[in-house]
Amino acid sequence: IPNYALTGIGADAQKRFFEEVSSRDELDGLFAKASAEEAAFNKKIRIAAKRACSDKTSYLNAYQVFRGLSERFLYAALIDADRYDAARWEDGRPIGDWKRMLPDWDGMAARLRQS
């Protein structure tokens, strides 16, 4: 869990952040959840690398490749999301309406079951 020890100008920014964006407890919870998700994901990468290789050297190489590809994918997704939000902001459109763009999976599944 991160240490929020800031003083001076940073303390004012920190106070405003916790008042306007997220509480300390909520942010700590998000960090804890992200840490647990990363640990579970890392475990899956280790399992995939073990299945792909028989000896330890090959396993380590496969693990590094899988981990590197995963990091690149996540970084690319972050950059894409940032560019998307920046474009929406420049166009004067709301940034937080991404939920409306998600497919209606429940509705599609119901239609599929009916057919």
For the chain (length 115 residues), average pLDDT per consecutive 10?
Answer: 56 82 89 95 93 89 93 94 87 73 86 91
Is 63 in the same domain as 28? Answer: no
- Model confidence over 83-102: pLDDT tens digits? 988 888 888 887 766 667 77
Do 86 and 59 share a structural domain?
A: yes
Does residue 47 belong to any structural domain of this protein?
no
Instruction: State the residue range of the domain holding 62.
Output: 53-115
Total-model pTM = 0.57
Q: Which candidate, 73, 76, 95, places its Cα nearest to that of 84?
A: 95
pLDDT of residue 9: 60
- Structural domain contains residue 45: no
CA triple 52-56-60, angle to 5 deg = 70
Task: Note whether 21 and 59 are same-domain residues.
Answer: no
Task: Please check whether residues 27 and 79 belong to one and the same domain.
Answer: no
Please indicate, yes or no, whether residues 63 and 115 belong to a single structural domain of this protein.
yes
**In a domain? residue 48:** no
